[in-house]
Amino acid sequence: MGPPGTGKGTQATRLSAAHGLRAISSGDTLRNEIHENTDIGRRARPFVESGGLVPDEVITEVMLAGIDRIPDDAGFLLDGFPRTVPQAEALDAGLTARGRKLDAVLDFQLDDQAIVDRIVSRLVCKKCGRTYNTRFHPPTSPGQCDNCGSELSQRADDSEAVVQTRLKTYREQTAPLIGYYGERGILRGVDASSSADVVEREISAIVRSLGKR
């Protein structure tokens, strides 16, 4: 967890590859359930197609469906979920019912101005979705994705005004999770101001300290 622009998606990809964890993105899982026309996918489809917010209970079921696709002995990480305390409570209940639990929650920490600076210089691959940053994590070839070679572009909502609104929403809705998971003793702070390689080493050390991988 952490504000937008702190590198969560980049590190989720790196962490899953380095430690054999299954990365479960809320957006990707939601799109997959809709594409597969599952029961939960059919319930979520109207909200997605209308541009509305997917209710807490529906997005929680979507994420639990993603977890159900993973073997019981495989580790996983969640990217972009939960976003609210009610979602976290529902996730805990769903994991308990499945005999599973969260071992750690990584809280990516970065001051607001640095977040704005990062996001307004962010580029995204139109094809595979991999993200880059012209200042902190540029592609090898300007304007071209290292992964698939497709064109990179800036998202329409990666403007300073929109970012400030998203930060406000994060502080109001998601930041309370810091206290929620802190009370459970599984919150781990991550200094997201360093380079992607340094942050990866820090979070890899956290995973190893759990004795899981």
In the chain, what are the domain boundaries? 8-108+191-209
8 flagged as catalytic: yes
Query: Which one from 101, 155, 168, 208 is the annotated catalytic residue?
Result: 155
- What mean pLDDT comes out for the span 121-128? 90
Is 38 in contact with 69 (CB distance < 8 Å)?
Answer: no
The reported pLDDT for the residue numbered 150 is 95
122 flagged as catalytic: yes
Helices (H) and strands (E) in the chain, counts: 9, 7
Phi, psi (5° rounding) for residue 13?
Answer: -65, -45
What does pTM read for this prediction? Answer: 0.79
Instruction: State pLDDT tens for residues 148-201.
Output: 999 999 887 788 888 888 898 889 889 999 999 999 999 999 999 998 899 999
Q: Which long-range contacts (CB under 8 A, 24 or more apart) does 44-47 make?
A: none
Domain 8-108+191-209, CATH class in plain words = alpha beta
- The answer to whether residue 133 scores a pLDDT higher than 90 is no
Instruction: Give the residue from 194, 196, 80 showing the smallest Cα distance to 146.
Output: 196
166 flagged as catalytic: yes
Indicate the pairing of strand 105-109 with strand 131-133: unpaired
126 flagged as catalytic: no
54 vs 82: which has the higher pLDDT: 82
